Chain A
Amino acid sequence: MEVLKEKVEEEEEAERAERGEKMMRPMEVRKEETIMTQEMLRDLERKLSEIEVSIPEKPSTFTKDAIDISKLPLSYQSNTPKEEHLLQVADNFSRQYSHLCPDRVPLFLHPVNECEVPKFVSTTIRPTLMPYPELYNWDTCAQFVSDFLSAVPLPDPLKPPSYLYSSTTVLKYQKGNCFDFSTLLCSMLIGARYDAYCVYGYGSQDLCHLDLTREVCPLTVKPKEMVKEEEKAPPKKYAVKPPRDLTSRFEQEQEIKRQEAIKAEEERRLKQEEEHLVEQESAKTDPLHGLRVHSWVLVLSGKREVPESFFIDPFTGRSYSTQDDHFLGIESLWNHKNYWVNMQDCWNCCKDLVFDLGDPVRWEYLLLGTDKPLLSLTEEEDDGMNDDDDVENLGKEDEDKSFDMPCSWVEQIEISPEAFETRCPNGKKVIQYKRAKLEKWAPYLNNNGLVCRLTTYEDLECTKTLEVKEWFQNREDMLELKHINKVTGLNIDYFKPGHPQALRVHSYTSMQPEMDRIMEFYETARVDGLIKREETPRTMTEYYQGRPDLLSYRHVNFGPRIKKLALNSAESNPRPVVKITERFFRNPAKPADEDVAERVFLILDERIQLRYHCREDRITASKREFLWRTEGDSKGNKIIMTPDMCLSFEVEPMEHTKKLLYQPEAMMKLKNEEKLSRHQAWESELEVLEILKLREEEEAAHALTISIYDTKRNEKSKEYREAMERVMHEEHLWQVEAQLDYLAPFLAQLPPGEKLTRWQAMRLKDECLSDFKQRLIDKANLIQARFEKETQELQKQQQWYQENQVTLTPEDEDLYLSYCSQAMFRIRILEQRLNRHKELAPLKYLAMEEKLYKDPRLVELLKVFV
């Protein structure tokens, strides 16, 4: 036992030495201490601590020079007794731990903070609920942390850092290593009531270096189509049997086999390619694999409806399952209440780890009596417990059982709205993914509203651009996403509702009119119910929805433009229309035979074809075709309907439709409709031109909208507010002046706008003073007069009382007495006032004189005389 004690003591020394001088390798320290005596050790320690002062800053980009520690609160610069106690407990724990597990690396327990004060890691976590609703859920929270801070690699990739700064400092400088990241994220998640822990462990190289070049960008991954197979209704009792299949089954099988062979071949080829690529990618293996220290966040299931435990990498803000290959091992983990050391083997990364923190065999805890419930142990685990009994008892016996974690020393974490909106440091962030580059900007940073750009490449070296996606925000033209396919040259613009032309999607290859383009619209925002307009150089197809005339489709074929010498612009010289096809929805109010389904105007042939809707129980539809000759018209003859001008096929021939009588009317109507349709087509063309023009203007102007609630950016409201404030201020000033301007009545007597002469100033002063004096005297006189009046009244009453004393009733007597006491009170007050006035009046007079001498309007003129 003695040996053990000694050893413990020695280790304590070592620990202290280590704390004093972090730069020294612990191995060396240990080697030395085996030879040295205790005195020498103390000496050394002293020396070392002296040396420490002269040691330069840690090799980190995040130097202490940059941190102004003088402004930090007291809790940052010193430890409370409770914290001291905690540190002792932690040291003790650490000693026993390193004694029992000598082959394991030292624990990450109390690194120094920015003021060089050792702080226990759990107290560095400051649970805070952010005031932004966006930060209430873990995914957005993690994304925010990863965006907000820029990552700094660890000074030594194989060891945890010797320092751990407070989250406030980290937030202030927007920089930090993985431990800073996870501490901040953990603070926020615990604040949002997640069961979150900081983890100290080992990660893959990609993870530690924030290297996403081997990851597929999450934005490029297409959301898996929810191919939900429709549940086949059970065949109904009376469902008809399918007609007999008379094809040869053998042939079918052969065909299937052939197809499968082709498919297999294809698959093999693909696989080979894939393998080849993988080989290429994973050519470089990491020599330090499994040794790189990393810190991340563990979220346990249970709270906030988290169904399953998962990891969050704070650098990327992405979540990983606890089985993920990137996480290679866990040393310890902690939250704001306790610290657990992993006692499980990590030979198979983190895949076999059980995150049951209540199980003391797997997780050795530092403090007893936290709120973590001890989960019930099964029999097997009990057996296991007996085997390593000493491990289980470790660190428990000599601790004060009621001791719990002190409060965090860190100030409340605060993020200003501006910083929150800017997000990334300087509002900009670039992430390189596998075959993709993601750039992010803060809103309003780019004056065209660009907030995000994703560039995907064909090759791994990112030289050949495949496509570019740009996201916009706060655009006045409601442009949301611009998708440019570099290979085909196809541009697709997506708009949010609110574009002046109700545009939803616009895909085009060039902005020139009469080219291939598709425009989609928000049909509810349009009067004509247009959903989509497709254009090719010779055709235009429009789709409609919800029109009162039930038009659903219009297809216009254009002929080649007739050349005009003078005018060549598209507006003045529309292309001739060759054919218009219009389709209609079924109008349930009409019988099917009278409800036109499709009409085709063949304008050059002077022919109109009508096709009617099919009746419900029919397979054929009625048709009618009108032909007319305009020659007859030009000669001045009246066209009379002849049977060959109207061909028709009737599903159910009826007497009355056969009569020619009704056709001229119908034909005239159709002719009018044709005119209208042509006009419509022309208008559509115009509209396309207009939209294109508008789009070009919008692209050139790219104005941004500013919410009326955005007080910072809304210039107009800001101006207004400032103006209001100014007015208020002036008003206030004026009021103050008006109250105190004793010179005003005298100044008013003088001619306005002129400068005072010295003589005038003198006179002004004298007048003012004499006036003031007069007022004081007047006041005194007034008090005097009142006093005398009151006294006389009292005397009169007394006289009256004495005269009538005998005849008075008791009531009158009472009345008199009360009057007397009141009068006496009034007289006394007046007397006091008069005395006070007499005392103060000279002082007031002097003060007035003083004031006048100092008055800015008179001071210049009176100075000479004083």
Chain B
Amino acid sequence: MNRLCNMEPRVMDDEMLKLAVGEQGPRDEAGQLAKQEGVLFKDVLSLQLDFQNILRIDSLWQFENLRKLQLDNNVIEKIEGLENLTRLVWLDLSFNNIEAIEGLDTLVNLEDLSLFNNRISKIDSLDALAKLQVLSLGNNQIGNMMNIIYLRRFKDLRTLSLSGNPVAEAEDYRTCICAYLPDLVYLDFRRIDDQKKELAEMKHQYSVDELKHRESLMQARLEDERARREELAEHEAAFVEHLSGPSLWDSMYAEDVEGSQLSHLPGVRELLQTYKDKFVIICLNIFEYGLKQQKKRKAELDTFMGCVQEAVQEKQEQGKHKIAKFEEKHLLSLSSTRDESELTNFEIKMAEYSEDITELANVLMTLEMQLVEQLEETINMFERNIIDLVGLFVENVQSLMAQCRDLENHHHEKLLEIAISTLEKIVKGELDEDLPDAVRSLFVDKDTIVNAVGASHDIHLLKIDNREDELVTKVNSWCAHLVDKIHKDEIMRNRRRVKEINQYIDHVQSELDSLECSDLLD
């Protein structure tokens, strides 16, 4: 950019930021205080950094609460370093040398984005900006009309400027945008009048309708996907995912080469079918049982949480009440002690006051200790119950899995029988049917066929075992996690409360001390 080329590009550093903050910070009385104490970057709400010849955005990570940032008229080439400014509502990056939109994925609250007079040729990477209302992209190098369609996803977008782009030179530029972005109110700083909008809509009706249709299809697909995912998550929470259908059975045969080869033998197909049916029924049983148990566990957890919440709430109320009573008394006495002239009276009051403080501390601590005891008991009870519940679940699932294994064993025996008889037939040359070569190759001798059938059997058993193990470990770890978390939470709560009480008592005590001190000084 020739207007700035005679100046040396600068880097954003702390000094520069401090200067800017100081200049734009509070004035007058507060300004003096600000100078004395300095301003934290965290508290700054708006920052202006224009005409600074900045090349690279940097050192902004401290400005967590920034709402408005102006970085216009610099020589920035890349949008970066803005990840921490999640509260940002207004971002001005106009008159820079930016070539691509990027690095805005965390700025979910952004409403006003200006990228005027840059070198952008494509609108994208704005997906996260769901609240976008104003978008300024004038004087860029956007040449493709398809970019407009991308903007359809911003439901709140009302103002758009695109003038000065190659795309704006097209003949039906305005009507096209009006048709594709019907919610737009201002285009290139001009209000879109209704008549024109209607005309545009009529003109582009077909393509827009088609677009809408495609979008709705997409939407429906996404929703389906989401529903499926939710369902799966629910099943996973019950630790019985993929057990509602034949997928376990399918997975057993997926890697089983021999098994699928053996299915060509006469009579095996029927055998497989009945086996599959029975197997799937058992799987379904496990699945339903799992869901039921999940519901039970959830109800248990909910009641527990509710009860704990209630108990804590009650104690909290009691504590609040006690403090309120204390404060009432103390406020009155404090104001009267201030006026107290006689030293003996004053001392009596002070003594009384400090006594009250100790008592309050005791009472609050007692309440807390009571609560801790009560909760401990309750938590232990819950822990026992939930472990029992999980144990029962595991036991029952294991027994159902054992049924699966039995089925598999049974099937294995039958298969072996058929295989051996087939082998005998082949040996005798009595086999009528044609078998694929791969299958026929198994029937070389008895060992081979027995091994093949055995390998298939082993694979199946392994699959079943794996599934069972997976379930059991998952549920156990869930249980352990839960119990652990409850304990931890309770400890945290206790620490917090104790800290709070101590802090309060300290505060009151210090107030008393200061009163005494001031009085002594007088």
The residues of A with any CB-CB pair to B shorter than 8 Å are 236-241, 243, 614, 617-620, 638-641, 649, 651, 655-656, 659-662, 664-665
Contacts and interface: CB of A to CB of B under 8 A. Distances in A.
B304 A640 contact: no
B503 interface: yes
B309 to A, nearest CB: 10
Contacts of A239: 307, 310-311, 378
B347 interface: no
B34 A651 contact: no
B37 A660 contact: yes
Contacts of B34: 661
Contacts of A649: 504, 507
Nearest to B305: A238
A656 B370 CA distance: 36
A635 B310 CA distance: 58
A683 to B, nearest CB: 29
A661 B497 contact: no
Sorted nearest first, the 8 A-B pairs with minimum C-beta distance are: A619-B319, A240-B374, A238-B307, A240-B311, A238-B304, A620-B504, A243-B370, A661-B33
A620 B375 CA distance: 21
B377 A618 contact: no
A238 B364 CA distance: 24
A660 B34 CA distance: 8
Given A238-B382, A240-B378, A659 B32 contact: no
B29 interface: yes
A638 B30 CA distance: 12
Contacts of A618: 316, 500
Nearest to B29: A664
B503 to A, nearest CB: 7
A638 B29 CA distance: 8
17 contacts: A237-B300, A237-B303, A238-B304, A238-B378, A239-B378, A240-B311, A240-B378, A619-B364, A620-B323, A620-B500, A638-B29, A639-B29, A640-B32, A659-B40, A660-B33, A664-B30, A665-B26
B475 interface: no
Contacts of B381: 238
Interface string B466-499: 0000000000000000000000000001001100
Contacts of B370: 243
B440 interface: no
| Most B C-beta atoms less than 10 A away, residue of A241, A617, A620, A662 | A620
A665 B30 contact: yes
Given A620-B503, A651-B500, A656-B40, 16 more contacts: A236-B303, A236-B306, A236-B307, A237-B300, A238-B303, A238-B381, A241-B377, A243-B373, A617-B493, A641-B29, A649-B507, A659-B40, A661-B30, A664-B29, A664-B33, A665-B26
| Most A C-beta atoms less than 10 A away, residue of B312, B377, B382, B504 | B504
Contacts of A656: 40, 42-43
Identify whether the interface residues of B are mostly helix, strand, loop, or mixed: helix
B455 interface: no
Nearest to B368: A619
B292 interface: no
Contacts of B497: 619
Contacts of B268: none
B308 interface: yes
A464 to B, nearest CB: 43
B30 A619 contact: no
B134 to A, nearest CB: 25
A600 to B, nearest CB: 10
A664 B34 CA distance: 11
Nearest to A665: B30
A619 B307 contact: no
A656 B497 CA distance: 23
Contact of A619 (B37, B303, B316, B507): B316
| Most B C-beta atoms less than 10 A away, residue of A237, A619, A640 | A619
Given A614-B320, A656-B43, A665-B30, A240 B500 contact: no
B39 interface: yes
B413 to A, nearest CB: 48
A565 B382 CA distance: 77
A518 B493 CA distance: 45
Given A656-B43, A661-B26, A240 B503 contact: no
B316 A617 contact: yes
Contact of A237 (B26, B307, B312, B501): B307
Contacts of A638: 29
Contacts of B40: 655-656, 659
A235 to B, nearest CB: 9
A210 B377 CA distance: 71
Interface in B495-522: 496-497, 500-501, 503-504, 507
A619 B32 contact: no
Interface string B312-327: 1000100110010000
Interface string B412-455: 00000000000000000000000000000000000000000000
A149 to B, nearest CB: 62
A403 to B, nearest CB: 74
Given A640-B29, A664-B30, A240 B37 contact: no
Interface string B371-401: 1011101100110000000000000000000
Given A640-B32, A661-B30, A240 B323 contact: no
B33 A619 contact: no
B354 to A, nearest CB: 18
Contacts of B26: 661, 665
Contacts of B312: 617
A640 B307 contact: no
Interface in B22-59: 26, 29-30, 32-34, 36-37, 39-40, 42-43
A645 B37 CA distance: 17
Nearest to A602: B335
Nearest to A660: B33
B298 to A, nearest CB: 14
Nearest to B381: A238
A638 B373 CA distance: 57
A376 B301 CA distance: 61
Contacts of A660: 33, 36-37
A580 to B, nearest CB: 16
Contacts of B36: 660
Nearest to A620: B504
Nearest to A611: B327
Contacts of B310: 239-240
A619 B382 contact: no
Contacts of A243: 370, 373-374
Nearest to B315: A619
B500 A661 contact: no
Given A620-B504, A640-B32, A664-B30, A241 B37 contact: no
Contacts of B37: 659-661
B290 to A, nearest CB: 23
| Most B C-beta atoms less than 10 A away, residue of A238, A639, A640, A661 | A238
A640 B377 contact: no
Contacts of B307: 236-240
A619 B500 contact: yes
B479 to A, nearest CB: 17
Contacts of A617: 312, 316, 493, 496
| Most B C-beta atoms less than 10 A away, residue of A240, A243, A618, A651 | A240
A641 B36 CA distance: 11
A649 B504 CA distance: 8
Nearest to A614: B320
A661 B39 contact: yes
A619 B323 contact: yes
Contacts of B377: 240-241
A638 B320 CA distance: 41
A641 B33 contact: yes
A660 B36 CA distance: 10
A651 B504 CA distance: 8
Contacts of A662: 30
A744 to B, nearest CB: 66
A389 B32 CA distance: 118
